[in-house]
Every structure is written in C-alpha cells, then in structure tokens.
C-alpha cells in the first residue's frame, strides 16, 4: 500500500466520522500513513548498496567512557557492554553521528518478530550484535 493511499484512507475515515471525535480507525490510518512517510525519508537518506558503515564514537571523558551510537539501539547494547566491562563507567548516547535514518537496531531474537520497531528496522539481523562486539573491542583498546 502506498503512502498516498494511506493518506486517502485516513481522510476518508475522518470525513465519515459523524460524532466529531476521531475514530480508532482514523487514528490507526494516520499512524500507518506517518510510518510510511518516515520510511520513505529513511530510504531516501540511506546510501545505495548492501553495506552501511555506521559511525560509532568511543572516547574517554574523565573516568567515564562515552559511546555515541547510531540509530535507536535496544538496551541490550548498553547492558552487554557494561557486563563485559564492569570496571568502566559507560555512558551511551544513541541517535548520534547524524544517523537517525538507521531507525531501530534490534537484537537478533526480535528480528522478524513483528514488533513495531522490527517494521522500521533497515539494518540486517545481527547488526546490533556486531556493533556490541566492535565497541567492546574498542573499549579494550582505550582502557
């Protein structure tokens, strides 16, 4: 279904709403339309090809280590880093490095599960785990 047809469905539902309150069907149609609009925007800003190199920043800040990561990462990213490096104070900042187009980055077990975030994820399954491994190696190198 296209973005335009979702918008048309939403407007038709609103016009047929006689009691003046937004119907559940109208709100759902508007939500799906907004999801489609955002997906189009992500696709336009994502480079062509099979590989996307995501920039992750890791630096010391006093006694802490700051990790700037792309997209919206599931909390397993930071909990696993803290489990692997219990002596470090780790601060994780997501949606950094101008990388909002990555949207959500889920752990493998949630990929294909049908949760809302899975519908929006453009990274391949395993991307989060690879990112955890790469950042973990970087943390070992800077300590």
* pLDDT bucket at 3, cuts 50 / 70 / 90: very low
* pLDDT bucket at 103, cuts 50 / 70 / 90: confident
Domain count, the chain: 2
137 and 86 share one domain: yes
Range among 32-41, 97-106, 128-137 rated most confident: 128-137
Average pLDDT along the chain: 76
Evaluate if residue 85 carries a pLDDT over 90: yes
70 and 30 share one domain: no
Residue 52 lies in a domain: no
Rg (CA), the chain: 19
For residues 56 and 70, is the Cβ–Cβ distance under 8 A? Answer: yes
91 and 35 share one domain: no
Residue 51 lies in a domain: no
* pLDDT bucket at 112, cuts 50 / 70 / 90: confident
117 backbone dihedrals φ, ψ, rounded to 5°: -65, -30
Quote the domain boundaries for residue 118: 57-142
Is pTM, for the whole model, over 0.85?
Answer: no
């Amino acid at each position: 279904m296209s973005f335009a047809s979702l918008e048309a469905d939403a407007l038709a539902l609103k016009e047929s709403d006689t009691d003046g309150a937004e119907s559940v069907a109208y709100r759902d149609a508007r939500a799906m339309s907004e999801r489609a609009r955002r997906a189009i925007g992500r696709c336009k800003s994502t480079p062509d090809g099979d590989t996307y190199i995501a920039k992750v920043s890791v630096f010391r800040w006093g006694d802490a280590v700051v990790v700037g990561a792309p997209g919206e990462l599931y909390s397993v990213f930071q909990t696993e880093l803290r489990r692997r490096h219990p002596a470090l104070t780790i601060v994780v900042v997501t949606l950094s490095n101008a990388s909002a187009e990555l949207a959500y980055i889920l752990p493998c077990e949630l990929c294909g599960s049908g949760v809302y975030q899975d519908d929006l994820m453009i990274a391949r399954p395993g991307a989060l785990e690879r990112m955890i491994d790469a950042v973990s190696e970087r943390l070992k190198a800077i300590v």
